[in-house]
Amino acid sequence: MSQPRTTLRQREDADMPAICAVFSDPTFVHSAAAGQRFETPAHVQLWLDQMGEHGRVEIVADLEQEVAGFGGLFMGGGNQSHVGSLVMGVRQEHQRKGIGTMILRGLIGIADQILNVHRLQLTVYGDNPVALRMYLAHGFEIEGLHRAFVRRDNCYVDTFSMSRVGHVGSDCRGCVTTSERQAQQ
CB 57 within 8 A of CB 72: yes
- Can you list the alpha helix ranges (DSSP code H) found in 69-177? 99-109, 129-137
Is residue 1 a part of any domain in this protein? no
What is the CATH number for 88?
Answer: 3.40.630.30
Least confident of 5-19, 100-114, 159-173: 159-173
Is residue 72 a part of any domain in this protein? yes
- Averaged pLDDT for residues 95-114: 95
pLDDT of residue 75: 96
CA R_g for the chain:
17
* Terminal Cα distance for the chain, rounded: 61
Q: Which domain holds residue 29?
A: 6-184
pLDDT higher than 50, residue 43: yes
Is residue 62 a part of any domain in this protein? yes
Core vs surface per residue 147-174: b (16+ CB within 10 A) or e: eebeeeeeeebebbbbbbbebeeeeeee
Average pLDDT, the chain: 86
Better-predicted residue by pLDDT, 15 or 34: 15
Is residue 148 a part of any domain in this protein? yes
- Can you list the alpha helix ranges (DSSP code H) found in the chain? 16-24, 26-31, 41-51, 99-109, 129-137, 178-184
CA distances from 33 to 27, 123, 147 (A): 12, 6, 13
Question: pLDDT > 70: what percent of the chain?
Answer: 84
- Averaged pLDDT for residues 156-176: 74
Band the pLDDT of 170: cuts 50, 70, 90: very low
pLDDT digits (tens, 9 = 90+) for 110-127: 999 999 999 999 999 999
Question: pLDDT > 90: what percent of the chain?
Answer: 58
pLDDT of residue 56: 95
Q: How many structural domains compose the chain?
A: 1
- Can you list the alpha helix ranges (DSSP code H) found in 55-174? 99-109, 129-137
Least confident of 51-55, 65-69, 178-182: 178-182
CB 53 within 8 A of CB 6: no
Please give the Cα distance from 21 to 173 (Å, whole number): 42
Is residue 93 a part of any domain in this protein? yes
- Averaged pLDDT for residues 121-141: 95
